Amino acid sequence: MTDQPLLRLHKVEKHFGDFVALDGVSLTLQAGTVTCLVGPSGSGKSTLLRTVNLLERLDGGAVYLRGEMLGFTRSGDHRRPVPKKVARRQAVNFGMVFQSFNLIPQMTAAENVALGPVEVLQVGRADARRQAHELLSRVGLADRVDHYPAELSGGQQQRVAIARALAMKPSVLLFDEPTSALDAELVAEVLAVIKELAMEGFTMLIVTHELAFARDIADEVVMMEDGRIIESGPPDRILLNPTTERARSFFASVS
């Protein structure tokens, strides 16, 4: 059997009116690898994650998970999206962690983590709660399960959000600048959790400006500009020896 990639984007396009946010992005993620996506603000990084996650509809190209085309009929007819039920099942394959945590303020940490499994995966409440406790322990929050988001630091809230993403047993974890909203002293605890997941073999696509972190954990670094990938490759080559002047000046500006 050939080594089929876990996730493959093929010439993905996304338009907002006349504006082209993604201009034919092709990208392959092998199972168990970490890809860090870098690039200036407005280059299309968040749009790319949202498109993979089926939060946005594609305007061209396709996304394949284990060879199965996501979001659209096999014919690739973009005017005919697959039924909502299928799209929802496909979306469950992705766990998303946002810059701004997006926890539900009226729910405790454990309730936030258990919500998806109960509502979407139809896991029983007791099982979902047990699993939430396990996951919160795993991200170092065993003693915070009954705290509300407002009672947690930003770093702790983001770790709850990571546990919440893991609770859905996703095939791919997507992170959109997971540490950008955090005070400097809280960044490390979140990066440590992400690094642990990388070492456990999770497949991850991470938008980050933390270049040292990217160099440490990424198998591949991908740089975007104006909705296109302008460089990609092993972190040492991309970050230390970029071929484009644009990448060179961008790395100089964020490090």
Cβ closest to Mg ion, residue 45 vs residue 133: 45
Q: What's the min distance (Å) between Cβ of 123 and Mg ion? A: 31
For 74, 136, 183, 228, 241, the CA distances from 49, given in Å and listed in that order, are: 22, 25, 24, 14, 26
When CB distances are held under 5 to 8 angstroms depending on the partner's kind, the choice from Mg ion, ligand ADP, none that residue 75 binds is: none
Q: Which stretch binds Mg ion (CB under 5 A): 2-10, 44-52, 55-63, 220-228?
A: 44-52
- The yes or no reply on residue 46 touching Mg ion (CB under 5 A) is yes
Cβ closest to ligand ADP, residue 111 vs residue 210: 210
What is the size of the binding site for Mg ion (CB under 5 A)? 2
Q: Which residue is nearest to Mg ion (CB)?
A: 46
Q: Which stretch binds Mg ion (CB under 5 A): 45-53, 158-166, 192-200, 210-218?
A: 45-53
Q: What's the min distance (Å) between Cβ of 138 and ligand ADP? A: 28
When CB distances are held under 5 to 8 angstroms depending on the partner's kind, the choice from ligand ADP, Mg ion, none that residue 16 binds is: ligand ADP
- The yes or no reply on residue 108 touching Mg ion (CB under 5 A) is no
Q: What's the min distance (Å) between Cβ of 42 and Mg ion? A: 8
Calpha distance 202→34 (Å, rounded)? 8
> Which residues of this chain interact with ligand ADP, rule CB under 6 A?
16, 19, 21, 39, 41-47
Cβ closest to ligand ADP, residue 54 vs residue 163: 54
Q: What's the min distance (Å) between Cβ of 148 and ligand ADP? A: 29
User: Identity (one letter) of the amino acid at 75?
Assistant: S
Residues that bind Mg ion (CB under 5 A): 45-46
